[in-house]
Amino acid sequence: MTAVAGGLTPEERLLKETVREFAAKEIAPGAAARDEEERYDRSLFTRMGELGLTGLPFPESVGGAGFSYRAWTLVMEEIAYADMAMAVSLSVHILSQFPVVTWGSDEQRARWLPEMLAGRKLGAFALTEPGAGSDAAALRLSADRVGPTEAPTAYRLTGTKIWITNAGEAERYLVFATVDPAAGAKGVTAFLVEAGTAGFRFGRKERKLGIRSDTASELIFEGCEVLVANRLGEEGQGLRIALSALGEGRISIAAACCGLAQAALDAAARYLTERRAFGGVLAEQQGLRFMLAEMAQRVAAARALTRAAAEAKDRGEPIAEASSLAKWTASDAAMSVTTDAVQLFGGSGYSREFPVERMMRDAKGAQIYEGTNQIHRLIVADHVLMRIKGE
Ligand SMILES: Cc1cc2nc3c(=O)[nH]c(=O)nc-3n(C[C@H](O)[C@H](O)[C@H](O)COP(=O)(O)OP(=O)(O)OC[C@H]3O[C@@H](n4cnc5c(N)ncnc54)[C@H](O)[C@@H]3O)c2cc1C
């Protein structure tokens, strides 16, 4: 489709405007109250499903809406502009479907995806454990084969996951376990597990600094039996599956960070045009105008890297480096822009009566989840060195 002003196609512009209107009307108004009450509003996820957002970036061949990933980043921006917590919930829901789309058998796709694509079932992505965060290959949740080693009929999962976004609310869990703890990355295997399966329950709910209206909880597996039909890919492919999905997820989180940062920038700019001091509005102070300009610069740079990463994915190119650059830059931009917004609001910025303190709390997590920003530096450095060595 022909590109128009802003580099967006008419279809993308319509999508952006539709989601912006929906988010402003239905998501933004309750964001502060949901944060205060740490309350997940499932009806908003259902509404996003009715609008087709819960399956938007997947091909029509698997039942998705067939939009590009660049279009998906526009959706993320708009939802996060209204409420970062809802954007993260939706992003993780999409993240948990990617591996089924890419690695699932026809039977698994037909069984697992339709209800998730439609937003009737919510997904979660369970990788992190108490002893395995950045070092995901060190995970210890065991998957013991039931039946012959060469042809198991099922696996028994035993162990604990922590910090699992959407946990408790979600019906569908993509769980990474190991068939051989001594094998490191080579033992990691992915499983599809439904809430309510015997031997699978929820543990402690995290009491978070930000995105407080989305849940994050422990998952506890006590000999939970999962049929071999629910193993995604082969034994030992799990880490590859997780990392490829995270490449995609990180672009989505980067886009959410752009939306969050834009919301803080707009709120601060509006405040400076209204707040009077020293015989005029604060927006007349050159020092503060410089701050606004620098905030806008960071948002624009983050958006450019995010869009470049999404376009690389749409062209089918490798995205590991581009998605790390985007996620690291955009989450740092969100953190610094929201912090500056609090500063520009003065005392009001520190008050829960105004939205910018929530935005600042919401931004912090994005520097940590889906790979900490230190891990993204390692990924980018690996690519720099590979190029030098001609690999
Ligand atoms: C709000 C939130 C939501 C989350 N949602 C999910 C989810 O849905 N699913 C899921 O599986 N996980 C989730 N997580 C977990 C998240 O992915 C991990 O917290 C993250 O990967 C870091 O792991 P860790 O907490 O064990 O920190 P660690 O890995 O212990 O790291 C501690 C510190 O050391 C640094 N560090 C570690 N190794 C290195 C190194 N080699 N070089 C330089 N620095 C290093 C890290 O950057 C960090 O600063 C979530 C976390 C949060 C905060």
> Per residue in 108-117, is it b (16+ CB within 10 Å) or e — as a string?
bbeebbebbb
d(CA 44, CA 26) in angstroms, rounded, equals: 8
Of the candidates 12, 235, 311, 370, the residue annotated as catalytic is 370
pTM of the predicted protein model? 0.98
- Reported as a single tens digit per residue, the pLDDT across 293-338 is 999 999 999 999 999 999 999 999 999 999 999 999 999 999 999 9
The reply to whether ligand 1 has any atom less than 6 angstroms from the CB of 137 is no
Do 177 and 281 share a domain, yes or no? no
Do 245 and 322 share a domain, yes or no? yes
Is residue 138 within 8 Å of residue 154, measured between CB atoms?
A: no
Do 113 and 131 share a domain, yes or no? no
Question: In sequence order, which ranges of the chain are alpha helices (DSSP H)?
Answer: 10-22, 31-37, 42-50, 69-82, 84-103, 106-117, 238-274, 286-314, 320-344, 356-366, 373-388
Residue 236: pLDDT band (50, 70, 90) is very high
370 is catalytic: yes
The reply to whether ligand 1 has any atom less than 6 angstroms from the CB of 155 is no
To which residue do tokens 């809406």 refer?
Answer: 65
Is residue 180 within 8 Å of residue 244, measured between CB atoms?
A: no
Do 216 and 259 share a domain, yes or no? no
Nearest CA to ligand 1 atom 51: 369
Nearest CA to ligand 1 atom 6: 164
Q: Which atom of ligand 1 is nearest to the CA of 371?
A: 21
- Give the domain CATH number at 111: 1.10.540.10
Domain boundary among 200, 216, 236: 236
- Give the domain CATH number at 232: 2.40.110.10
Mean pLDDT within 287-292? 98
Nearest CA to ligand 1 atom 23: 133
d(CA 303, CA 78) in angstroms, rounded, equals: 13
Do 97 and 10 share a domain, yes or no? yes
The reply to whether ligand 1 has any atom less than 6 angstroms from the CB of 374 is yes
pLDDT given at position 6: 65
Do 110 and 43 share a domain, yes or no? yes
d(CA 316, CA 369) in angstroms, rounded, equals: 25
- Give the domain CATH number at 268: 1.20.140.10
Sequence-distant (6+) residues with CB within 8 A of 49 are 118, 119, 120
- Reported as a single tens digit per residue, the pLDDT across 115-160 is 999 999 999 999 999 999 999 999 999 999 999 988 999 999 999 9
d(CA 320, CA 211) in angstroms, rounded, equals: 26
Number of domains into which the chain is organized: 3
Q: State how far the alpha carbon of 352 is from the alpha carbons of 108, 122, 289, 342, in Å.
A: 46, 30, 25, 11
Domain boundary among 62, 91, 117: 117
- Reported as a single tens digit per residue, the pLDDT across 78-118 is 999 999 999 999 999 999 999 999 999 999 999 999 999 99
Mutation probe of ligand 1 site: the residue of 163, 172, 174, 211 with most atoms within 8 A of C-beta: 163
Q: Which atom of ligand 1 is nearest to the CA of 95?
A: 8
- Reported as a single tens digit per residue, the pLDDT across 358-391 is 999 999 999 999 999 999 999 999 999 999 999 8
Domain boundary among 60, 91, 117: 117
The reply to whether ligand 1 has any atom less than 6 angstroms from the CB of 216 is yes
Closest CA to 214 of 174, 177, 165: 165
The reply to whether ligand 1 has any atom less than 6 angstroms from the CB of 368 is yes
Measured in residues, the chain has a length of: 391
Neighbours of 12 (CB within 10 A): 21
To which residue do tokens 């998705």 refer?
Answer: 64
Do 135 and 215 share a domain, yes or no? yes
Segments forming the whole domain that contains residue 95: 5-117
Do 136 and 50 share a domain, yes or no? no
**In DSSP terms, which residues pair with 158 in a beta bridge?**
142, 222
**In DSSP terms, which residues pair with 173 in a beta bridge?**
124, 193
Do 76 and 199 share a domain, yes or no? no
The reply to whether ligand 1 has any atom less than 6 angstroms from the CB of 92 is yes
Do 312 and 175 share a domain, yes or no? no
Do 317 and 366 share a domain, yes or no? yes
Do 69 and 148 share a domain, yes or no? no
